[in-house]
Amino acid sequence: MDYFVLTDTEFFRQITIDKDECKLSSAYCDFIKTVFDLCIGTASRYELLFAMTYTETELQSLCETCRLNLDINKESDLCFLYTRKALSFIRHTLKHMQTQVPPLSISDNINQSPVISYQWTGSTIELVELIYGLIEMRSIHNGETPITELAGFISSQFGIEIKDCYSAYVDMKRRKNDSRTYYLDKMRERLNRRMQLDDEREQARK
């Protein structure tokens, strides 16, 4: 999310640079609508809260600047009035966001992807073989992640318990074949076979 989405609006341009009183009302209405759209359409409440808090800070600063620059009656300065109105609206919205239960909108639940659980259906030692392969290939954090930490994470994702990763590795080392990586060898063989069959089908269609 663009945290400056509200401060990059036409309204902010009017109260900081252009200061065209004829356009202030329309720009203010568009600003309020933008806030409303964000509140009902933003999936991440934390990102929205950050953007709103940043906007509140900027409006507060502008209000203080307007007070210092006013030479006559501040109530007659439309720029100050609209800035103060926007600040009040943002503060009320922030207060509502921070205290409301359930959340401000149901978009949090609608826009978030459902959590999908995947189950490992191979053997534990096959998973350990894959984990050691990832470590040796330095495919996860350049191979700097401890094997036990990586094993714990992967096992939690796949719903399988690896009680002793090193014991499984020792069992792999005791294998008698020339190649002791049974699972990785089978994976390589089947993947190559699949690509070969795909090539044959493509040739047959020509």
The whole-number pLDDT of residue 99 equals: 63
Backbone angles phi, psi at 94, to 5 degrees: -60, -45
- 51 lies in which domain range? 10-111
CA 158 to chain centre: 22
Q: For residue 3, is it within any domain? A: no
**Does 136 share its domain with 101?**
no
Q: What is the 3-state secondary structure (H, E, C) of 104-146?
A: CCCHHHHHCCCCCCCCCCCCHHHHHHHHHHHHHCCCCHHHCCC
The whole-number pLDDT of residue 126 equals: 94
**Does 77 share its domain with 162?**
no
The pLDDT profile of the chain, 206 residues, written as one tens digit per residue, is 577 888 889 988 888 887 777 888 899 899 999 888 888 877 677 788 888 888 888 888 888 777 666 655 444 477 888 888 888 888 888 887 766 544 444 444 445 555 567 889 999 999 999 999 999 999 988 888 888 888 888 888 888 888 888 899 999 999 988 899 999 999 999 999 999 999 999 888 87
The whole-number pLDDT of residue 111 equals: 52
The whole-number pLDDT of residue 1 equals: 58
Q: For residue 106, is it within any domain? A: yes
Examine the fold and report which residue of 82, 111, 140 is the final residue of a domain before the chain moves on.
111
Examine the fold and report which residue of 52, 87, 111 is the final residue of a domain before the chain moves on.
111
